[in-house]
């Protein structure tokens, strides 16, 4: 693990890493266990990755924990996940606070059970003056929900005369997204061997590097994060330009 860590170029770290934490259910089934057992073990991975990302100096870590579509899962699983959420926030809050982590939530939290929402709001309030890594939990989140909401709110402000439609730019739209306070992720990781985005940060991932691994989320540990970052650092991000231009720009800096 140390050798992987030594290979990472600390001067070329992504500022923002986003992760689709997938594969809990299959991990549990492969062990002959209930799906909730997989979610329970997934919390261990969250703890390890939050710590690892903080140690690397990553500024923003977004974790996709529950999608809008996940509400359609069997009631038993949804209820279990909500209980796990409340228990985990309660248990982890002191450590997060001690580690100077700031907690944010993106998503339709009105959908969450009231006690879960209250717990979250309280913990976020308690950490709002922390200055370390921002941990952004995507809860009851989906990108299409977010974009529709943004359009709705822009329309309301246009109607109220607060915005002139002719002046709408990418910055305007950005300001209406749930992620308005964060830079776009440079790296998106999905575990468990699925090659899709599943309604996650569709707009924000426009130029993100995508990294897919077969490792199931409950098995994902710091060394897997290091591998993803090394892979990211081996890529040339061209943003539509050609390689020679990118190299010249790097030299000029
Ligand atoms: C990810 O694991 C966690 C959530 C979506 C809440 P899954 O529950 O999707 O696990 P698989 O993909 O069915 O294995
Ligand atoms: C995406 O995983 C959502 C989260 C990890 C929270 P899913 O397991 O819900 O996605 P699909 O159904 O495989 O696309
Ligand atoms: Mg899944």
What are 66-106's pLDDT values in tens digits? 999 999 999 999 999 999 999 999 999 999 999 999 999 99
Domain that residue 134 falls in: 12-142+184-252
Q: In whole angstroms, what is the distance from residue 186 CA to residue 60 CA?
A: 10
Classify residue 155: in a domain, yes or no. no
Q: Does a structural domain hold residue 171?
A: no
Q: Which residue's CA lies nearest to atom 3 of ligand 1? A: 22
Q: With respect to residue 161, please indicate whether it lies within any of the assigned structural domains.
A: no
Is 66 near ligand 2, meaning CB less than 6 Å away? yes
pLDDT band at residue 25 using 50, 70 and 90 as cut-offs:
very high
115: Cα separation from own chain's centroid = 23
Interval 125-175: pLDDT, tens: 999 999 999 999 999 999 999 999 999 999 999 999 999 999 999 999 999
Q: Is residue 204 part of a domain?
A: yes
Ligand 2 atom nearest to CA at 64: 6
For residue 79, tell me if it sits in a domain. Answer: yes
Q: Give yes or no for residue 1 having a pLDDT over 90.
A: no
Residue 174 lies in a domain: no
Domains in the chain, number: 1
| Nearest to 36, CA basis, from 77, 97, 94, 89 | 77
pTM of the entire predicted model? 0.98
CATH number of the domain enclosing 113: 3.40.1180.10
A 10 A CB-CB count for 232 gives: 22
In a domain, 148, yes or no: no
**Distance of CA 194 from the midpoint of ligand 2 (Å):** 9
Q: Please check whether residue 4 lies inside any domain of the structure.
A: no
Of the candidates 3, 6, 9, 22, the residue annotated as catalytic is 22
List helix spans (H) across the chain. 2-7, 24-30, 35-56, 75-98, 114-126, 143-159, 170-175, 222-233, 243-252
Report the alpha-carbon angle 90-96-102, nearest 5.
Answer: 110
Percent with pLDDT over 70 in the chain:
100
Please tell me which residue in 34, 70, 149, 184 is annotated as part of the active site: 70
């Amino acid at each position: 693990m140390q050798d992987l860590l030594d290979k990472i170029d600390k001067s070329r770290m992504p500022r923002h890493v986003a992760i689709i934490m997938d594969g809990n259910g299959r991990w549990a089934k492969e062990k002959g266990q209930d799906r909730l057992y997989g979610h329970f073990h997934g919390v261990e991975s969250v703890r390890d990755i939050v710590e690892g990302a903080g140690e690397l100096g990553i500024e923003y870590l977004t974790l996709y924990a529950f999608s809008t579509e996940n509400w359609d899962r069997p009631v038993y699983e949804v209820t279990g996940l909500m209980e796990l959420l409340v228990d985990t926030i309660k248990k982890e809050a002191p450590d997060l606070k001690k580690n100077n982590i700031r907690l944010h939530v993106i998503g339709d939290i009105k959908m969450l059970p009231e006690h879960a929402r209250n717990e979250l709001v309280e913990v976020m309030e308690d950490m709002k003056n922390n200055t370390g890594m921002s941990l952004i939990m995507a809860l009851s989140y989906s990108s299409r929900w977010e974009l529709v909401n943004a359009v709705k709110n822009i329309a309301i402000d246009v109607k109220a005369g607060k915005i002139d439609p002719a002046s709408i730019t990418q910055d305007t739209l950005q300001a209406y997204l749930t992620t308005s306070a964060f830079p776009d992720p440079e790296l998106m990781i999905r575990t468990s061997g699925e090659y899709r985005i599943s309604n996650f940060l569709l707009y924000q991932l426009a130029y993100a590097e995508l990294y897919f691994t077969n490792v199931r989320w409950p098995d994902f540990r710091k060394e897997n994060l290091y591998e993803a970052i090394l892979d990211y650092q081996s890529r040339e991000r061209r943003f539509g330009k050609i390689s020679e231009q990118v190299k010249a720009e790097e030299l000029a800096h």
